[in-house]
A and B are shown apart, each in its own frame.
Chain A
Amino acid sequence: MTTPNVQLWEVFIRSRNGLAHKHVGSLHAADATLAMQAARDIYTRRGEGLSIWIAPSNAIVASDPAEKDMMFEPAMSKIYRHPTFYDVPDEVGHM
């Protein structure tokens, strides 16, 4: 069924305290209040979350897939940026 004039929203769920909100999907809703209710009903039915963020999909600025070589290729050859060349003293414990 078509849903004219109904906006698309992106949904982000934080599953536990201390974790970041993660994108889980999208939904259609006429306004922010209904979008929040729909996000709750669709994406937290199995106890997935403690917090929900929603954002209008058209507010997301996305990188252009056609530019992925320019955007991401230069980082591929710079393995020295990975922090794998340092010896971490035992006293530091978990970083």
Chain B
Amino acid sequence: MATPSITVSETPLVLYALRRADDALILGHRLSEWCGHAPAMEEDMALANIGLDLIGQARELYAYAATAEGKANDEDTFAYLRDVRQYRNLLLCEQPNGDFARTILRQFLYSAFADAYWRAMMASTDATLAAIAAKSEKESAYHLRHSAEWVIRLGDGTEESHRRAKEAVDHLWAFTGELFHADDSDAALIADGIAVDPERLRAGWTDMVANVLATATLTQPKSGWMQKGGRSGLHSEHLGHLLSELQSLQRTFPGATW
């Protein structure tokens, strides 16, 4: 007997917070899947640390979405009681871990955006979002450094690590266009200075990614057709499986607590 999903009143601000919260929760959950499986103990800890940073960001953003919505929802119901079509995260964040190279490339492509995004959001006219940004920027700066150093070592490492890193960047590239997505719901928030126009961040992201890939002796795929849909709830087949694990306890035993 499963618990039914909640309904969410997606005002622009609620939707905006949920989209960023979902990015952080889903990517954080993906990283948690490495726990006990990473190539070395040192990296096991590093990936779990990054995952915990992201889940912490998700919690603050969910809490703010709940406040902004002003209904009965809270951070737990947002995380545990929304169906896959109600999730608003980037498709990039839900892509499976694959091998270590794919996890690192996914983290790098996301963090290169997130770090610049949070730095820009520190100037948000919304005090809560600006405060979340100030905390998150310190975390994402480290995520970017850590993943970039690994991209360089994998790309410019052995023949095998180069092959895997190349496969990863080729596979994930089509999911990077969505980083810069903004829709009508975002437009008013951008006009009010609450949100950042992601298009403003594109040049910096492109430079950062080009530099690191070049140092890593990896070829940047030609920007071509890009996947999208995550921001409006149209996900790849992977997210449903992820949620079935993430939500199984609360769906089976509603309201269960420690």
Interface size of B by CB at 8 A reads 14
Shortest beta-carbon distance from B171 to chain A in Å: 24
A27 contact set on B, CB distance < 8 A: 42
- Verify if B207 is at the interface (C-beta below 8 Å from A): no
The list of the 3 closest CB pairs from A to B, nearest first, reads A38-B42, A41-B46, A41-B45
Interface residue from A1, A40, A45 paired with B40 (Cβ < 8 Å): A1
What's the Cα separation between A42 and B41 when bound, in Å? Answer: 9
A29 at the interface (CB under 8 A from B): yes
Residues of B within 8 A of A38 (CB): 42-43, 45-46
B76 at interface by CB-CB < 8 Å: no
Asked if B224 lies at the interface with its beta carbon under 8 angstroms from chain A, I say: no
Which B residue's beta carbon lies closest to that of A42?
A: B45
A24 at the interface (CB under 8 A from B): no
Distance in angstroms from B95 CB to nearest chain A CB is 23
Give the interface residue-count category, chain A: 10 to 19
Q: Which residues of the other chain, B, contact A40 by a CB distance below 8 angstroms?
A: 142
Q: Say yes or no for A33: interface residue by CB 8 A criterion.
A: yes
Would A42 and B39 count as touching, CB distance under 8 A?
A: no
- B49, CB-defined interface residue at 8 Å: yes
- State the Cβ distance, B138 to closest chain A Cβ, in Å: 13
Q: Is the interface of B mostly helix, strand, loop or mixed?
A: helix
The reply on B146 being an interface residue by CB < 8 A is yes
Instruction: Find chain A residues with CB under 8 A from B40 CB.
Output: 1, 3, 6, 28
A34 in contact with B153 (CB, 8 Å): yes
User: What residue in chain B is nearest A6 (Cβ atoms)?
Assistant: B40
The smallest beta-carbon distance between B145 and chain A, in angstroms, is 7
A34 to B142, CA, bound (A): 12
A 9-49 binary contact with B (CB < 8 Å = 1; else 0): 00000000000000000011110011001101110010000
Q: Measured between C-beta atoms, what is the minimum distance from A26 to chain B in Å? A: 11
Contacts A/B (CB < 8 Å), 12 sampled: A1-B39, A27-B42, A30-B153, A33-B149, A34-B42, A37-B46, A38-B43, A40-B142, A41-B45, A41-B49, A42-B42, A45-B49
B contact residues around A34 at 8 Å (CB): 42, 149-150, 153
| Bound-complex Cα distance A71 to B76 (A) | 62
Selected from A1, A29, A30, A37, the residue in CB contact (under 8 A) with B145 is: A37
Please tell me which one of the listed residues B42, B49, B149, B150 contacts residue A28 in the complex, with CB atoms under 8 A apart. B42
Please, which residue of chain A has its CB at the minimum distance from the CB of B145? A37
Q: Tell me whether A37 and B149 are in contact in the complex, defined as CB-CB below 8 angstroms, given that A1-B40, A3-B40, A6-B40 are known contacts.
A: yes
Instruction: Return chain A residues, CB-CB under 8 Å to B150.
Output: 34
Complex contacts, A6 vs chain B, CB 8 Å? 40
Minimum Cβ distance to chain B for residue A58 (Å): 18
Kindly list 5 other residue pairs between chains A and B, CB separation below 8 angstroms, not including A29-B42, A37-B145, A38-B43. Answer: A1-B39, A28-B40, A28-B41, A33-B149, A34-B150
CB distance from B53 to the nearest CB of A (A): 11
Identity of the chain B residue whose Cβ is nearest the Cβ of A39 in the assembled complex: B42
Q: Which residues of B contact A42 (CB under 8 A)?
A: 42, 45
Residue among A28, A38, A41 with the highest chain B CB neighbour number at 10 A: A41
Residues of A within 8 A of B149 (CB): 33-34, 37
